[in-house]
Chains A and B, each alone.
Chain A
C-alpha cells in the first residue's frame, strides 16, 4: 500500500511537527536557480516544463527532501533534464564544474 503513494504526495500524512516559522532571505545563488528555471521554461526557449522539473524532483527519491534543500532539488532536477535533452553532456558539465572549483582554489587572499 505504501508503494501506491508516491513520496512527494504527502497531503494528510501524519506529522506532529508544527509548521516551522523561521524564514531565510533568498540567497543570490537561489535566485539564479529560479531565474534559470524561468528562462528555460519561457516561450523563447521552451526547454523545460514545470512538470518535467517536478518529475525530476520526485525522481530524486524520497530522501532528497532530507538531504537537499529546496533550490538544491531544483538545480539537480534542471541539470538532469538538460543532460537528457542533450543541451550539454556529462563531460562538459564535469569539466565546467571542475573549472569553477579550481577558480575558487585560486582565489587570491
Chain B
C-alpha cells in the first residue's frame, strides 16, 4: 500500500500513471467484508446458493424504492375506493396496480385531520422493505429507536414536522409479524395535479411518518 503511494508520488509520468480506481485498489477489505466474501463463496461452493441467485437478489432489491409506496399513496389520493381497499388489504390493493409487496403483511395507517401515525422498531429495525426498500440510517439509529416511542413529538420536530396538540399522535412499534406504512394526507393546493405529479410529493420519510408531503 505504501509502496503504491510512493509510486504515485514520485513517478509522475502521466503515461505510466494509473488513473485512480478507489473502489478497486485503494481500499483494503475490512474483516467483515472478507467474512462476507468467504460466506458467499462457501455457500456457492456448497451449492446452497448460486452466484446468479445472489446477483438476481441484489438486482431485485435495487428495484424496490420508495417510488413503490408513493405510487400507492398517489392512487389512494385520487381514488377513494382504492384508498379503502389499500387500508383494508394492502397486498390485494397493490396487486391492482401491478405491485407485489411481498410475503409480510403491511398495514397501511391513514393520517387524518385527527390522527398522525409514526412508525418505529424499538427492538431492531423492522421496516416495510418490500415496499420502501432498505431502511435509512436514521431509522436504524439508537437515538430514533430510543426516543421515537416516548418523545415522538420532539423527534418529529427534529425532522421539521410539527403536529398540533389537537391531533392524536399514534406511534406504531413494529415488534412482530406486521410491517407498517403511513398513508399521509394529501396536501392542500394539489387539486390540479395528476397521479404522477402527486406521487412525486410522497417521500420515503412521509411514509414512515416523520415528514409531511409538501406541494
Do A and B pair up? The answer is yes
Nearest B residue to A26 via CB reads B134
Q: Which of A19, A47, A65 contacts B138 (CB 8 A)?
A: A19
Q: A10-B142, A35-B61 are in contact. Are A76 and B32 (CB under 8 A)?
A: yes
B contact face: mostly helix, strand, loop, or mixed: helix
Q: How many A-B residue pairs have CB under 8 A?
A: 139
A11, A72, A101: the one contacting B149 at CB < 8 Å is A11
- Within the complex, the shortest CB–CB distance from B76 to chain A, in Å, comes to 27
Least CB distance, B18 to chain A, in whole angstroms: 7
A1 on the B face (CB < 8 A): no
The chain B residue with its CB closest to the CB of A68 is: B32
Q: How many residues of A contact B (CB 8 A)?
A: 52
Mask, A29-42, CB within 8 Å of B = 1, is 10111111011100
- Say yes or no: is A3 at the interface (Cβ < 8 Å to chain B): no
Residues of A within 8 A of B (CB): 8-15, 17-24, 26, 29, 31-36, 38-40, 45, 47, 54, 57, 65, 68, 70-72, 75-76, 78-79, 82, 87-88, 92-93, 96-97, 100-101, 104, 107, 109
Instruction: Give residues in B with beta carbon < 8 Å to A.
Output: 4, 7, 18, 25, 28-30, 32-43, 46, 48-49, 53-54, 57-58, 61-62, 120, 122-125, 134, 136-138, 140-150, 155, 158-159, 173
Top-6 shortest CB links A-B: A11-B122, A35-B57, A96-B38, A12-B150, A72-B32, A11-B149
